[in-house]
């Protein structure tokens, strides 16, 4: 029986079919970084999960982050508006009133 950390087989490492279905992307990440296919799949899934965050959750999280640094709402709303516009999949344009309602209900 192999010890801890030893390889169990000599064939190619299995690629887990988590939520990532784009094998070309996984292979590209693996070959460009030196990661195994399984590691690359986890990295790709992590990045995709980051961008799948719902707008409401993103706004609340970023508002709390900016408040930690003592920023006031007018500045925070402008920053969040710019951040949302620059996201990989841009969120819809939100007014200050909409941002306020997301944060405070």
pLDDT band at 20 (very low <50, low <70, confident <90, very high): low
Task: Indicate yes or no: pTM above 0.85.
Answer: no
Query: Cα(97)–Cα(77) distance, rounded to whole angstroms?
Result: 10
Q: Average pLDDT for residues 74-81, to the nearest whole number? A: 96
> What token pair was written down for 55?
């707008």
Q: Average pLDDT for residues 5-34, to the nearest whole number? A: 68
Kindly tell me the burial class for residue 85, based on how many C-beta atoms sit within 10 Å of its own C-beta (0-12, 13-18, 19 or more).
exposed
Q: Average pLDDT for residues 54-73, to the nearest whole number? A: 96
What is the number of other CB atoms lying within 10 angstroms of the CB of residue 81?
Answer: 17
The residue whose two tokens read 């029986």 is: 1
Query: Cα(96)–Cα(32) distance, rounded to whole angstroms?
Result: 42
């Amino acid at each position: 029986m192999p010890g801890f950390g030893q390889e169990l087989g000599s064939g190619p490492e299995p690629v887990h079919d988590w939520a990532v279905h784009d094998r070309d992307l996984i292979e590209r990440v693996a070959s460009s970084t030196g990661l195994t296919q399984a590691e690359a799949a986890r990295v790709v899934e992590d990045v995709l999960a980051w961008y799948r965050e719902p707008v409401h959750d993103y706004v609340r999280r970023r508002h709390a982050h900016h408040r930690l640094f003592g920023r006031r709402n007018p500045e925070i709303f402008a920053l969040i508006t710019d951040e949302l516009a620059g996201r990989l999949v841009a969120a819809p344009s939100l007014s200050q009133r909409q941002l306020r309602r997301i944060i405070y209900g």
